[in-house]
Amino acid sequence: LQKSLNETFGADKYSEARKEVLTNMFSRPMQMALYFCTGVLEDETLFRHYALNVPFYTHFTSPIRRYADLVVHRLLSASLGASSPIKMKKEAIQKQADHCNDRKMASKRVQELSADLFFAIFVRVR
């Protein structure tokens, strides 16, 4: 898709803006990644990463960015024996994951609505 977009929009002064708008529009319908506790899900096929085509996948960034990343760091550290196990039941971890998913979806929705608002203002002004 990215290669097609690069080839399609040429090199005029608006090509980068057209490509960015369409890339944003194409990615909106894609399913967002969800946090979950593996001990709660019985179907291991849900652990896979579709785009990377790997059966088991976890993703995290610096634990200073998001609480979910902090939990993943702690669980990974405990599973490697570098720290003591987390004293939370899997249902409590899933509750935290659900809360993180809710906040992430709300944030994404606000971001989309903000972009729509500014686009409408831009069109109206022009």
pLDDT over 90 percentage in the chain: 18
pLDDT tens profile 52-77: 888 888 877 777 778 888 888 888 89
SS (H, E, C) 57-123: CCCCCCCCCCHHHHHHHHHHHHHCCCCCCCCCCHHHHHHHHHHHHHHHHHHHHHHHHHHHHHHHHHH
112/29 Cα distance (integer angstroms) = 12
The residue with greater pLDDT, 108 or 33, is 108
2/8 Cα distance (integer angstroms) = 10
Looking at 2-6, 55-59, 102-106, 112-116, which range is the least confident one?
2-6
pTM: 0.65
Tell me the HSE value of 37 on the side-chain side, using a 13 A CA sphere.
18
